[in-house]
Every structure is written in C-alpha cells, then in structure tokens.
A and B are shown apart, each in its own frame.
Chain A
C-alpha cells in the first residue's frame, strides 16, 4: 500500500515537473517570437512615428521610423492570410524622399485594404505615405499636407571670414563641394540645387495627385507645400474621413464586413539590438579616429533633403 502511494506520489511529481517545464518552454518560445500575437487578429496596426529615414531610426537616442523596418512589417502583414486590412498609425512630420517613397511603394504592392490614420502630424513624406492607402482618416486638428521638398543648411562662410578662417578648396570635379557650409554658394550651384529639388517636388506631388486622384485645380492648390489642418485637408480632398481610430476601424468593418480585431505590428527593441548598434558604431568611430569621424559626419550632412 505504501509502495503504491510512493509510486503515485512520484508520478504526480513528474507530471507537475513536466508542466512547469512546459511553461518554461512556452515562455522561451514567446520570448524569441515576440510577434506571436500577430497571428491572432485580422487587422494589422503599423505605427509610423517620427522622422522617416531609410535605416537606423529608433535607436536608444533617436525616435524615428525606418523604412526598412516598416516595409518588413507591411510584408509580414501581407503574407499573413488572417490579416484582412492594415491601419497605418501616422504621427510624423515626414522624412527623406527615398524612405518615404519606399514605404509608399510597399503599401501600393499590398493586396490588403489599407487605411491611414493621421494623428497629430502627417505631413510631407508622411502624407505621401498616407496618400498611397485606400482611405485617409485624420482628426480635424491634425496637421497634414506640406507637399514640398526642403533642402537647407547653415552657410558659415561669412562667420569663418570674420574669424579669419579660410576654406581651402581642393576638389576634383567642379561641383564636388556643392552645398558646403564653408563657402558661399554660387548662382549656378543654387540653380542646380533648385532644379534637383523641383524635380523631387514634381515627382512627389505627381504621385500624391495620382494616388488621391486629384484634379488639376486641386493639384495647383496643394503645390505650394502649405500645411493644412485635418478639416481643411478634408475640403481639399486630401483626407477622406474626419475622426480617429474608431472611424478607421469602422471604414474597414463597413468595407470588408468583418469585426476588426487589431494586432499591433512593431519591431521589438531588444537589448541585443541596442548593444549591437552601439558596438557597430563604436567600431566605426574607433577605426576612423574620433576627431575625423566627427568632421566627416558633419560634412556628409551638410545638406539634408527632406520631404
């Protein structure tokens, strides 16, 4: 009898041990597949927050949206047959033209119903992205529009001259140092830069007009790159519905006849991500010499073109 009791005691112990081990395994799997819940819902929510850049946004010190990461999320949602629609939660002043265009094209390629939900700001490159979706929802107080291109820098030539510092120009190629802050821009250089910016602007506005099916008159009104409130944008045909997340959900429910179950698609930041970024940047700076690295970084950032 005692032997029987010991035997069942041992069995219970083993079963309890295996259940605990099962919980540990399940926790371990969840840890490495942080987006496991992405499989659960039928509508993906992809946040686009901060300045839009092609790579390197959203590290420890900088809030931003990386087009590489966002495109990955769009593709992931697109390949999930359970996902019927995608809502883009936009809160961004814009970003680089290439990054904005990359995301815009990725949205155009999806087979899902897409809705842009503009929160505080969805301007410039961020509006370009929104224009690629099927519907745009914005608050009447959101800031949007600003369909233009900006390229600016601080010219320090006069300042250097006042401090008796000379910019020694050594270039191979006439326009190699175009936009250098250490010299005064020439009229031909200014023309060239303006031409490039105009080209970018034309491409940007043409794509928005095409995406939103705007008339020539509407195009003329928005081509001055002015920003608009959500209410104004609605009048101009830049926004479809005034409202918030609920309106975005309702649009999908009405169109697809489903009950929306949202799942947020976002890149999980792990300690490893943060550390690997720090280490890779450290290696670069050590290799090049901290002083020259700072200088070269400044020079490479003389002109930043943003949409």
Chain B
C-alpha cells in the first residue's frame, strides 16, 4: 500500500535579511572586480601604490583630483545602476539574488522604469541620496517585511520562496 505523502508546497514571503546582505555583497564584488575594472587603471595612475594613507588623503583632497574622483564616481554609479536596473528589470534578479534564490517583485503588475530607478538611487554617491545608506538598512531592520526605504518609495519588495 502506497503512502499518501502530501505534495510539497511553496509560498513566497519577504526574503531573509542574511540572504539579502549576501546577495548584495556578491553583486558588489562582481561590480567592483569586473564591471568597474576599467576605472581601476585610472585610479592606479592617479594614486600610486607607493603613497602612504596620509599622502593619499592629501592628494584626494587637492582641488583637481577631487573633481576627478567625483567625475569617476558619477560614471561608476551610472554603471552600477545600469547593472541592477537591467538585470532586475528583465530577470527580476541580479547575479547575487540568483545565487541566493531571492528576487524582486513589483507591487504593481509590471515593473516600471521609475520603480527600478528609485530602488537603486542609493548608488548615487551624492547628497541627498547618500542619506539612504543610513536610512535603508534602518528601515530594513525595523519595518514589516524587511523593506528598505527605497523599496517602500518604489513600491517594490524582495521576496524568497519557502517550501513546506
């Protein structure tokens, strides 16, 4: 007589925080080592490895280099935003999210560009967006569904699949 085992069911719910952090770390490693690789040579030319931390700090604060660093940061943030906007817009997942099996969903039916843009505004290293570096993690820790402030504003959320 065969046992009647109930079929495995799945449901989606807010992604676990550790999975989200891990996914973000993976994405940042990929961005840093692969996508931002062309900027590495620029930085190496600008700041030689032989410089001490103090000398590097002085150099970075010298007028001309400072504006150059800002210029590079702007272009780098454009690339980072494109990475997340393209992948999350098309696949609902970045590489980090694929590896941790979580994905982004819209509270509306389909993703709109503005939603993808707003949820990634924290990548722009300029005031007031840098405030999101503090606000986003706080909201994630203390809100229902572990949503970042950017996610609340963009009406999106990150979810995971749970089996039972």
- The answer to whether A18 touches B35 (Cβ under 8 A) is yes
Is A26 in contact with chain B by the CB < 8 A criterion?
A: yes
- The answer to whether B38 touches A39 (Cβ under 8 A) is no
- The answer to whether A39 touches B47 (Cβ under 8 A) is yes
Stretch from B1-9, B63-71, B111-119, B122-130 at the A interface: B63-71
Is B53 in contact with chain A by the CB < 8 A criterion?
A: no
Stretch from B79-87, B132-140, B155-163 at the A interface: B79-87
- The answer to whether B41 touches A26 (Cβ under 8 A) is yes
A21 vs B76: C-alpha distance when bound (angstroms): 10
Is A37 in contact with chain B by the CB < 8 A criterion?
A: yes
Name B72's closest neighbour in chain A (CB-CB): A29
**Across the interface, which residues of A come within 8 angstroms of B152, CB to CB?**
none
Q: How large is the interface on B (under 10, 10 to 19, 20 to 34, 35 or more residues)?
A: 35 or more
A19-50 contact mask (Cβ, 8 Å, vs B): 1 or 0: 10111011011100100110111000000000
Is B144 in contact with chain A by the CB < 8 A criterion?
A: no
Residues of A within 8 A of B (CB): 7, 10-11, 14-15, 18-19, 21-23, 25-26, 28-30, 33, 36-37, 39-41, 76, 79-82, 261
- The answer to whether B68 touches A18 (Cβ under 8 A) is no
B50-94 contact mask (Cβ, 8 Å, vs A): 1 or 0: 010001001100111100100110010011001100110011000
- The answer to whether B48 touches A82 (Cβ under 8 A) is yes
- The answer to whether A11 touches B38 (Cβ under 8 A) is no
- The answer to whether A19 touches B37 (Cβ under 8 A) is yes
- The answer to whether B42 touches A79 (Cβ under 8 A) is no
23 A–B contacts from the bound complex (CB under 8 Å)? A11-B87, A11-B95, A11-B98, A15-B83, A18-B83, A19-B38, A21-B79, A21-B82, A22-B35, A22-B36, A22-B38, A22-B39, A22-B75, A22-B79, A26-B75, A29-B42, A29-B72, A33-B68, A36-B45, A36-B68, A39-B45, A39-B47, A82-B55
Is B34 in contact with chain A by the CB < 8 A criterion?
A: yes
Name B44's closest neighbour in chain A (CB-CB): A40
How close is A233's CB to chain B, nearest CB, in angstroms? 36
- The answer to whether A81 touches B41 (Cβ under 8 A) is no
Query: In the complex, which of the residues B51, B78, B90 contacts A82, with contact meaning CB atoms closer than 8 Å?
Result: B51
For A7, A26, A30, A261, which residue has the most chain B Cβ atoms within 10 angstroms?
A26
Give 15 A-B pairs besides A19-B34, A25-B78, A36-B68 with Cβ atoms closer than 8 angstroms. A11-B87, A11-B98, A19-B35, A22-B35, A22-B79, A26-B75, A29-B68, A39-B47, A39-B59, A39-B65, A40-B45, A79-B62, A79-B63, A79-B64, A82-B48
A48 vs B63: C-alpha distance when bound (angstroms): 25
**Across the interface, which residues of B come within 8 angstroms of A23, CB to CB?**
38
CB under 8 Å from chain A, chain B span 9-62? 30, 34-39, 41-42, 45-48, 51, 55, 58-59, 62
A261 vs B50: C-alpha distance when bound (angstroms): 11
On whether A10 and B59 interact (CB within 8 A), knowing A29-B42, A40-B48, the answer reads: no
A261 vs B48: C-alpha distance when bound (angstroms): 11
Name A6's closest neighbour in chain B (CB-CB): B91
**Across the interface, which residues of B come within 8 angstroms of A41, CB to CB?**
48
A14 vs B90: C-alpha distance when bound (angstroms): 11
Query: In the complex, which of the residues B38, B45, B83, B98 contacts A25, with contact meaning CB atoms closer than 8 Å?
Result: B38
**Across the interface, which residues of A come within 8 angstroms of B78, CB to CB?**
25
**Across the interface, which residues of B come within 8 angstroms of A18, CB to CB?**
35, 79, 82-83
**Across the interface, which residues of B come within 8 angstroms of A37, CB to CB?**
45
Name B39's closest neighbour in chain A (CB-CB): A26
- The answer to whether A81 touches B62 (Cβ under 8 A) is yes
Query: In the complex, which of the residues A10, A11, A29, A81 contacts B75, with contact meaning CB atoms closer than 8 Å?
Result: A29
How close is B109's CB to chain A, nearest CB, in angstroms? 21
A41 vs B34: C-alpha distance when bound (angstroms): 27
The 5 closest A-B pairs by CB, nearest first: A22-B38, A26-B38, A25-B75, A39-B46, A81-B58
- The answer to whether B58 touches A25 (Cβ under 8 A) is no
For A22, A76, A79, which residue has the most chain B Cβ atoms within 10 angstroms?
A22
How close is A201's CB to chain B, nearest CB, in angstroms? 39
- The answer to whether B46 touches A40 (Cβ under 8 A) is yes
A14 vs B83: C-alpha distance when bound (angstroms): 7
- The answer to whether B46 touches A76 (Cβ under 8 A) is no
- The answer to whether A80 touches B59 (Cβ under 8 A) is yes
- The answer to whether B71 touches A15 (Cβ under 8 A) is no
A21 vs B86: C-alpha distance when bound (angstroms): 14
